[in-house]
Structure 1
Amino acid sequence: MSRWKELTGETFGNDYAARFAALARSGKDVHGEARFCAALVPAGARVLDAGCGTGRVMIRLTELGYDCVGVDLDASMLAVAREQAPDLPWFQVDLAEFEPGRLGIAADFDLVVAAGNIFPLLAAGTEATVVRRLAAALRPGGLMVAGFGLDAAHLPVPPSITLSEYDDYCAAAGLTLVDRFATWNADPYDGGGYAVSVHRR
């Protein structure tokens, strides 16, 4: 079972969406991830939102002109995404079993983005498999971006993956580290408890 399911029971979709809607109404910037991605690849690029949740990042990227596909295991989150953007391609799938061809999707994404603590919330022991499957969905030269917490202050669950472990999984999947930041605003990484990592296939 994924740590996410243990945490939420996979019934959190509406609450999660409401939290970000309230942040947006208060004037907070809720599109940092999409802006970060848009600085990496040009409009029109194919983007896979891995662990897309309620679709906040993917819907914004679509508005900016990107060709996006969203995948998530949590039906409650996907229900919100489909309600907000019924014309976009949303797929319910376990990332550890993700195979684009089985869903009728070409495995030639320019960018894979895994925002929202995807890796620390996976089922224990599946991290390397998920990295491998996401890397395989990229075209040669494509980028994978993942942002996640590394300590208790930045996670809703106990820390379960280190940056060195993540880099090792990426290397084994044929990915090379390009850059690393402390936030989705591209602040330099200083060894803190949250990191946004960019790898290239």
Structure 2
Amino acid sequence: MSGPGAGGSGAGRVPSRWEELVAENPGHSRWYVERFRAMAAQGQDTVGEARLIDAMVSRGARILDAGCGPGRIGGYLHRAGHTVVGVDVDPVLIAAAEEDHPGPIWLVGDLAELDLPGRGIAAEFEAIVCAGNVMTFVAPSTRVTVLRNFAAHLAPAGRAVIGFGAGRDYEFGRFLDDAREAGLVPQLLLSTWDLRPFSEDAEFLVAVLGRA
């Protein structure tokens, strides 16, 4: 999430929790890349989130993979026939996405400073997917800003699908309040990416949000 247009790295930018984690352990990004490469090589399902997004949109949709990591979701969606832009704060993860999943536009950038039109990329996406607990890795002070940026990059009838687990210092109720403040309203709440209904004791949230 730190590059011109996708999100600048100007003075005063608040580092994300992911950047703090990598600063403490410089090998973390490479471990993360190799973890998913190994899972894919073993035949494990690493694209369940992408299948849900694919089912929600028409063929050839424009999709933003927000916090795309090494590209497992955006890569699948590109191969399924969609136009994909992926943004992540970590240049190591973006480099892996470019290597393993050529085709989408992969950008290093800060979701808290997301401005794709500033980089010549149309803002209106039919879907934004934010998986992999990304919302718990952004700086807490930027959460509403990140969500507001999602709303600004959605087509009028577009939907943002955000998933993260409990116990990560971001209560589900607080997230939904932040989303509403940012101009996003819940259309559907699930407890898994395979469409199990959400309940008050759920350990995971998948929120399908639309513009207010």
Give me the TM-score of the superposition, normalised by structure 1: 0.91
Are 1:164 and 2:164 matched, yes or no? no
The one-letter amino acid paired with 1:70 is G
Q: Which amino acid aligns with 1:179?
A: L
Q: Give the deviation of 1:86 after TM superposition.
A: 3.9
- Do the aligned partners of residues 11 and 50 (structure 1) sit closer, same or farther apart at CA in structure 2, a change above 3 Å counting? farther
Match 1:52 to one of 40, 59, 68: 68
**Shift in Å at residue 14 of structure 1?**
3.1
Aligned to 2:99: 83
Which ranges of structure 2 fall in alignment gaps of 5 or more residues? 1-14
Q: Deviations for 1:57-78, whole angstroms, at most 9, x for unmatched residues?
A: 0000001111110011101101
The more displaced of 188-197 and 8-17 is 8-17
Alpha carbon RMSD of aligned pairs, Å? 1.5
SS in 2 for 1:78: helix
* Structure 1 CA distance for aligned equivalents of residues 158 and 151 of structure 2: 9
| Residue among 191, 194, 200 paired with 2:204 | 194
SS at 2:74's partner residue?
A: helix
Aligned to 2:19: 5
Structure 1 residue matching 2:56: 3-state secondary structure: coil
Indicate conservation of the 8 Å contact 2:75/2:103, yes or no: no
Asked if structure 2 preserves the Cα contact closer than 8 Å seen for 1:50 and 1:71, the reply is: yes
State the one-letter code of the partner of 1:7: L
* 1:104 equivalent in structure 2: 120
1:115 aligns with 2:131: yes
CA deviation string 1:6-51 (max 9, x = no partner): 2233653432222122222333211101011111112211100000
Residue identity over aligned pairs, in percent, reads 40
Q: Which of these residues, 87, 106, 131, is aligned with residue 71 of structure 1?
A: 87
Determine if contact 1:135/1:175 at 8 Å carries over to the other structure.
yes
CA distance in 2, matches of 1:170, 1:141: 16
SS of match in other structure, 1:48: strand
Deviation at 1:130, TM superposition (A): 0.3
Residue 173 of structure 1 deviates from its aligned partner by 2.3
Identify unmatched segments of 5+ residues in structure 1. 152-158
* 1:171-201 superposed Cα distances (whole Å, 9 cap, x missing partner): 1222221111111111122332211110112
CA distance in 2, matches of 1:37, 1:161: 23
Q: State the aligned residue count.
A: 194
Question: 2-side partners of 1:170 and 1:160: how far apart?
Answer: 16
Contact 1:131–1:170 (Cα < 8 Å) also in 2: yes
Contact 2:72 2:101 in 1 (8 A): no
Q: Using the alignment, how far apart are the partners of 1:14 and 1:98 within structure 2?
A: 25
- TM-score in terms of structure 2 length: 0.86
Residue 190 of structure 2 is matched in structure 1 by: 181
